[in-house]
């Protein structure tokens, strides 16, 4: 997210063509949605649609339930290096494993014990 120090100048002549390649950085989806849904000129057209129902919160929830493949395709992979998530997942996995072992131990009784 931080601007690299060697980044090209962010200004360009007003008349310069605006193409995908000349954009300083592709704006991320959050920046685009924030602006096209929340900002700009609001004039009622002939088609009435309540964009207020499409809050960023709703979108966030949708992002969270979007399939992992789709999310990665879209460049969303924050969970991969989110320490809180990965540790809690790790913690859950550990807890699951311990519980499974405990259940096996209880279910199998002395017979299981002698076998293990």
Partner 1 sequence: MAERARYLYAITRNVDPSPLGSTPALSGGRLDVVEHRGLTAVVSDVDLREFGQEGLRENLERLEWLEKVARGHDTVVQAVASLGPTAPLRLATICLDDEGVRRRLDEWHDALHVVLDRVEGRMEWSVKAFADPVQAGVDTSGVPEPAQGGGAAYLQRKKSEQTAREHREADAARVAGEIHDALAASSSASRRLPAQDPQLTGHTGTMTLNGAYLVDLDEVAEFEATFHRLQKEHPDAALALQGPWPPYSFAVLEQ
Cβ atoms of residues 56 and 37 within 8 Å: yes
Going residue by residue from 73 to 102, which x/- string records binding to partner 1, judged by CB under 8 A?
Answer: -x-xxx--xx--------------------
Cβ atoms of residues 47 and 2 within 8 Å: no
| Distance, CA of 80 to CA of 77 (rounded, Å) | 6
Q: How remote is the C-alpha of 62 from its chain's centroid? A: 9
CB of 44 to partner 1, least distance (A): 8
CB of 7 to partner 1, least distance (A): 9
Helix (H/G/I), strand (E/B), else coil: 4: coil
Residues that bind partner 1 (CB under 8 A): 1-3, 9-12, 14-18, 20, 23-25, 27-37, 39-43, 45-49, 51, 53-54, 56-57, 59-60, 62-64, 66, 70, 74, 76-78, 81-82
């Amino acid at each position: 997210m931080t601007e690299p120090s060697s980044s090209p100048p962010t200004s360009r002549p007003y008349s310069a063509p605006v193409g995908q390649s000349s954009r300083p950085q592709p704006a991320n989806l959050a920046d685009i949605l924030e602006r096209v849904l929340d900002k700009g000129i609001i004039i009622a057209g002939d088609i009435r649609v309540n964009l207020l129902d499409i809050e960023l919160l709703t979108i966030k929830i949708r992002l969270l339930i979007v399939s992992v493949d789709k999310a990665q395709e879209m460049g969303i992979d924050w969970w991969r290096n989110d320490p809180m998530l990965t540790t809690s997942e790790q913690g859950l996995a550990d807890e699951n494993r311990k519980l499974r072992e405990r259940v096996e131990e209880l279910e199998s009784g002395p017979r299981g014990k002698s076998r293990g």
